[in-house]
Structure 1
């Protein structure tokens, strides 16, 4: 990737890197690194790990300060809606991030440039790169520059969805396979019974929860799944 391309991307994302190599690394998918036989960590996965944590923290801090009356459960659901894979992919597309990715030939030919998972990971990797390049204050300014509008918009359309409904909406964006809830255990005496539920998607357990009723246990499992999906 040449200097002109990096400059164009910096203009789109609104941040100029001191260390251009960090931005290049943030755009490097593992398929590209493997193809050119770079060392195993010469891709954006570690930066994505950092960016995911930083994004969660900055968004959580903003909501904690600006939504003082919102209880913990609602904060969790709102954050899950804001930083879920599909939402981050939308933001990545606004920055045309897919155009600048370095992908292996296999990912290129199978539509990797437009895949939500790859776009969302790269988006978080760029956040990680900004954090390392400019420090926490710089990355806070960078994130809030585009995320405040996203947070406020999501909150304004967020109608206190129950966790099961919200999880269903998240899954429907990426798959047509329906969710399944199962009561896998019952604990305690009849007058004080606790139910244990899991929620599965395509044979994989997404979340687990308990409750005093089957419905409450399913809601808890759905909330756990949302938390797991948004790390």
Structure 2
């Protein structure tokens, strides 16, 4: 459950393995669970993003900075990052949550990511947690335009390709699993011009497409 692949993607190696395990444990599984770490993570995320925006946009007034921060720390943005990290694959969920697709539920994924931030803070200190958060959010911050909303992964991928006059990605449904009330969708994203093929999965086709787009963006960033 605490596969080192998650730590590589997250950019931090835990010294205290129990902290990592607790951060990945939903309250439906057992206690201790990740809600207390989520409380810490929410606080440090807001503080780190506030400082980063303060330094990134030195002339913006308080109101604009607050709006940018709110966009960055909202559930949808956390969910995008969690999908890119495949965080759902590492969560410890109770049987009921597993059957209902909890490992792809935006609220559960967002809370778990905040719990990870809190765990890094306790394990490695404030400076280390700040580095992890800034590194994870840097792509979103670089694309910020004051007054505009944060764009989802599919939109960002589309704009990236359009800006280079390349053909748009093709999304195709490649499989479904599970009962009708808890179905999981698997989607493939193909960018022929860049020789990129990525996959995503989720409780809805849209969520699966977002994950596939996020992974395609990761491949472009490392190409």
- Classify the secondary structure of the residue corresponding to 2:28: helix
The Cα shift of 1:147 comes to: 1.2
Moved over 3 A (4+): none
Please give the TM-score of this superposition, normalised by the length of structure 1.
0.62
Deviations 1:169-218 (CA, angstroms, capped at 9, x unpaired):
9xxxxxxxxxxxxxxxxxxxxxxxxxxxxxxxxxxxxxxxxxxxxxxxxx
Please give the TM-score of this superposition, normalised by the length of structure 2.
0.65
The number of residues matched between the two structures is 151
Which one of 21, 28, 32 corresponds to residue 29 of structure 2?
32
Matches within 5 A, 1:1-231: 1=1, 5-33=2-30, 38=31, 42-153=32-143, 155-156=144-145, 158=146, 160=147
The Cα shift of 1:6 comes to: 2.6
Aligned residues: CA RMSD? 1.7
Distance 2:138 2:50 in 1: 12
Deviations 1:104-125 (CA, angstroms, capped at 9, x unpaired):
0111111111110000000000
Distance 2:99 2:11 in 1: 30
Unaligned ranges ≥5, structure 2: 152-223
Distance 1:137 1:147 in 2: 15
Deviations 1:137-179 (CA, angstroms, capped at 9, x unpaired):
11111111111221222x13x5x25xxxx6xx9xxxxxxxxxx
Distance 2:6 2:28 in 1: 21
Structure (1 or 2) with the larger CA radius of gyration:
1
Distance 1:103 1:97 in 2: 12
Distance 1:152 1:8 in 2: 26
Unaligned ranges ≥5, structure 1: 170-231
- Classify the secondary structure of the residue corresponding to 1:9: helix
Deviations 1:49-71 (CA, angstroms, capped at 9, x unpaired):
00000000000001111211111
